[in-house]
Structure 1
């Protein structure tokens, strides 16, 4: 998929998600929170499939473990985002179920911590070279 197509799909699904979110928060609809997050789950599944396809191609042609580990990190980040979205939907849809907000935000905290560590490591490596 070309970069332009990926950008258009991302923008379109983000726009649909924001429209559904505004309709739900405004009180015009009483949809389930899982329905509101469907565009984000579609985007996440496309990202996982794309990362898996990109990860398999270097393995077929040769031994490039750096690219494979980078794609595995991307898949892990998307899986953490999916876990966060699921926990957030459970917290919002079923407030009496007892899922505290800090437990719903835990996957996001892990994701942001990992992204910060990765960014700092890349900055240090770039600065030292």
Structure 2
């Protein structure tokens, strides 16, 4: 895909999603909340599919040439996408539950009350995973680079340069 097509596609899907949310909240669009979130699920599916293809492309080889950090980054990316999908589903369930309570329609969710705290658990998990990935990409690599820089200029003491004594 061309380099300008990815951001353009992302921009189109996000704008469509925001427009659908505005129309749904204002009451103009009487769709289900799961249909409103469809553009975001399409983006998540494309991201998950491309990440899985990249991961399995590497594992087809007999020897994996990627280091542990690369595998950890890919695993964190898959976890973030899955947590985001769970959070979107929970938000849709919560919004549909509220919508059916206010309109008086029969509730199809078997619980009497969904608490917002439970809805936010996948969102907080996603944020914690993103913070872990950010820490790993920014802080951890800079610390390793600083230590390797310091390791290049070690002062050699005279006791370290002497040859071992033979007995």
User: What residue number does 1:39 align with?
Assistant: 39
| Deviation for aligned residue 1:7 | 1.5
Paired with 1:68 and 1:121, the residues of 2 have a C-alpha distance of: 12
User: What residue number does 1:110 align with?
Assistant: 125
| Deviation for aligned residue 1:35 | 0.7
Q: Is the radius of gyration larger for structure 1 or structure 2?
A: 2
Whether contact under 8 Å (1:58, 1:68) holds in the other structure is no
Q: Provide the TM-score with structure 1 as the length reference.
A: 0.88
Paired with 1:118 and 1:22, the residues of 2 have a C-alpha distance of: 32
SS in 2 for 1:53: helix
Paired with 2:14 and 2:50, the residues of 1 have a C-alpha distance of: 18
Paired with 2:126 and 2:33, the residues of 1 have a C-alpha distance of: 22
* Alignment partner of 1:71 out of 69, 74, 91: 74
* Alignment partner of 1:82 out of 81, 85, 101: 85
Paired with 1:117 and 1:52, the residues of 2 have a C-alpha distance of: 21
1:55 equivalenced with 2:70 (yes/no): no
| Deviation for aligned residue 1:65 | 4.7
CA displacement 1:41-81 (0-9 Å, x = unmatched): 11100010000011112222441253333222111100000
Whether contact under 8 Å (1:10, 1:43) holds in the other structure is yes
Structure (1/2) with the larger helix percentage? 1
1:93 equivalenced with 2:96 (yes/no): yes
Paired with 1:68 and 1:3, the residues of 2 have a C-alpha distance of: 25
State which drifts further: 105-114 or 3-12: 3-12
1:14 equivalenced with 2:14 (yes/no): yes
List 4+ stretches of structure 1 deviating above 6 A.
none
1:122 equivalenced with 2:137 (yes/no): yes
Q: Provide the TM-score with structure 2 as the length reference.
A: 0.70
Q: Which runs of 5+ in 2 are unaligned?
A: 102-110, 146-167
